[in-house]
Amino acid sequence: MATSFPDPDKLKKDIHAALKGWHTVGGTADDLLESLLIVQQRRLAGNSGDNPALLRQVTSAVLLEGIEEMAAHDAERAHILRLRFLDGKSIAEVSYMLDISEDSVNRRQREGIQNVTKIIHARETAARQTLAQTMEVHLPPATYTALFGVDELQQKLQWQLLHEESPGVVALVGIGGIGKTAVADKVTR
């Protein structure tokens, strides 16, 4: 379901692209924020399937919630994001409407996108932690109390599983009884 945790800089670019695509149907995986668990969970709950309009609607709902949360403590930047992306106003139009320079609109827009990114990142972190805790409850109790000499292997395995270009399958191989299952269990937990 969830992919590797999104890099904050990439997430910011993807959120900007998703805001730009607010009025389009469909889009790419990046501008539909498909790597986010919070988006994936909503799509499953809403049974949006592969319908491009519903996919965009779910993405827009996640973005709008982030903008609304930001509005509670930064109404001006939230207003600029709404005008620019939801209402489709140009920089010049927003500048004229708010009686501020175009450079100020650009700067505040960038800051607003950064703030929305932080909010969505925090929500994504919480969703992933909740999912991990839910999944861990279903694991059988560990059959060991401590593992020795596997720290390097554990770190390498975690990196391979969580890295963006991770392979589809990772195999632990070796003779029976050397702790392959224990290492896999430890990494899972």
Per-residue pLDDT reduced to its tens digit, 26-38: 788 888 998 899 9
Dmax over CA atoms of the chain, in Å, equals 73
Supply φ then ψ for residue 172, to 5 degrees.
-100, 120
**Is residue 111 domain-resident?**
yes
SS3 171: coil
Question: What distance in Å separates the CA atoms of residue 114 and residue 126, rounded to the nearest whole number?
Answer: 18
Pair 49, 55: CB distance under 8 Å: no
**Is residue 144 domain-resident?**
no
Identify the residue with better confidence: 151 or 81.
81
**How large is the average pLDDT for residues 87-112?**
96
Question: 132 and 172 share a domain?
Answer: no
Q: Is 180 exposed, middle or buried (0-12, 13-18, 19+ CB in 10 A)?
A: middle
pLDDT-based confidence at residue 114 (cuts at 50, 70, 90): very high
Q: Taking the model in full, what pTM does it have?
A: 0.76
Question: 20 and 113 share a domain?
Answer: yes
Q: What is the tally of structural domains in the chain?
A: 2
Domain coverage including residue 162: 151-188
**Is residue 159 domain-resident?**
yes
pLDDT reported for residue 47 = 72
